[in-house]
Amino acid sequence: MIKTLPFLLIVFFMIGCGGYKFQEVGIALETGKPEDAYTYLQEHTPKNPDIPFLFELGLVAHYADRFSESSTAFDRAGDIAEDRYTKEISKEIGSLVTSDKLRPYSGTQYERLLSHYYRALNYVYQGQLDGALVECRRATGLINYFKDEKDYDFFGTGFLAYLSGVLFEAVGEWNDALISYKQAAEYYKNASEKTGVQTPKDIGNALVRLTRRLGFTDDFERYQRQYGESPPRPKNTGELILFYESGYVPSKGEEALTFPILKKDDVEDEKFVPTLIGREGMIFEDIELEYLLRVAIPAIDSYRPRFSGIEVVIGDVKARGMLVEDVENIAIETFNAQRPIILLRTLGRALLKYLAYREANKQHEALGILANLAGVVTEQADTRSWQTLPNQIFMVRMSLPAGTHTLKFSFLDANGQVRGSQSVPGIKIDANRITFLNHRTYE
């Protein structure tokens, strides 16, 4: 263990090296300058870009209307994530004695799914609907892969299945659209208890509409009883589908915890780490204490934006956005599920460092101090995540007369009160076609 001390100090400098600053990206986005954010990230691209950076680059490029560059960044992130299950073994081993920051980061399941949302929109905005459908099928494949895991939570799956249904319907692939809408209804239901997002009413309308179109009489009658009649679509109208993205997903911070080691403890017992976990927050008398084991683990707290809803007015037509993805709740629930294993791994690593310190201290007090210092400085919480993701995503779906329109947005707070407004001119609606748009606020 003592021989690892130089290695630990070298690792400290490795994991402490800085890269881009998220604040710089955020300022550019919030002041309506996504191109500046993209340029900044390009100028601060690491030698070997990893998944978190590529996610940020992909989303910023999307907002800067650099759709090809955005998809390229997301594709690179996806390829790395696929490889992470079999590669980076040396870093995985290194993390056992240093820091979770050396663990290969594969992205959370919801992050990987949301990358397909932006990739699909990239293709839509380039007029390549076939490419968007490919992304839907890739997302479906990823969902099916995740579903094979034990106790899968279905976070993010309802939204991606819903998006797939909308896109399949947009190109007239009615059967695939119906399948996707059915999956969306199932996935939203499976995740609703933890995410708080109920199945959007529009999914029921779509199931009624498509089963009628396809002549599936039994299914049509069943869905009609369950959801009611689907609203008719007037002639010479098109459809607007707006995705409103609000705020930022909460970023991870660092939480410092202290665990007491008692004089009577057998610290080399393989069952000692679970014993330590049970002492979180406990206080003992000084006479009983041998050592206070200090560790750092990630933490995440709610950080809701000022705007948490939208109403769209176009002439005499008005529609309110429905919540289709609560990224904050998903992020918090995902982390809460991971926290026990993170704590177990962190304490196991900290205990190894303590044993190294104790052994070094027996040989020489100065060596013990060095060992203790090495253990402290290399223990940093892994706070990596996709920070530019929105906090919530709302969807507005409305039929409009063919022509060019100005959209009037009213941004709502959590109580449904108007707290801001904006007009977006020049939105073209074609008869019997769907126009897609996503809009982001950061307040």
| pLDDT-derived band at 366, boundaries 50, 70, 90 | low
Query: Can you state the angle between helices 51-63 and 22-30, rounded to 10 degrees?
Result: 10
Average pLDDT over residues 369-397: 81
Tokens of 133: 């459908």
| 407 or 355, which is more confident | 407
What is the C-alpha separation between 75 and 395, in angstroms, rounded? 25
Q: Which residue has the tokens 């819903």?
A: 162
- In a 13 Å sphere around the CA of 228, the CA atoms on its Cβ side amount to 4
Report helix, strand or coil for 256: strand
**Count of other CB atoms within 10 angstroms of residue 298:** 21
Q: Residue 342: is its pLDDT beyond 60? A: yes
* pLDDT surpassing 90 at residue 85: no
Nearest to 187 by CA among 217, 136, 153, 234: 153
Q: Indicate the average pLDDT of the chain.
A: 89
Q: How confident is the model at residue 89 (pLDDT cuts 50, 70, 90)?
A: very low
Q: Read off the pLDDT of residues 239-274 as tens digits, 9 standing for 90 and up.
A: 999 999 999 999 999 999 999 999 999 988 888 999
pTM of the full structure: 0.90
Summarize pLDDT for 328-338 with one digit per residue, the tens.
999 999 999 99
Distance between CA atoms of 243 and 24, rounded to whole angstroms?
A: 25
> For 142-146, 308-312, 346-350, which range has the lowest pLDDT when averaged over its residues?
346-350
**pLDDT surpasses 80 at 11:** no
Query: In whole angstroms, what is the distance from residue 67 CA to residue 123 CA?
Result: 7
Cα–Cα dist 159/395, whole Å: 10
Distance separating alpha carbons of residues 5 and 375, to the nearest angstrom: 9
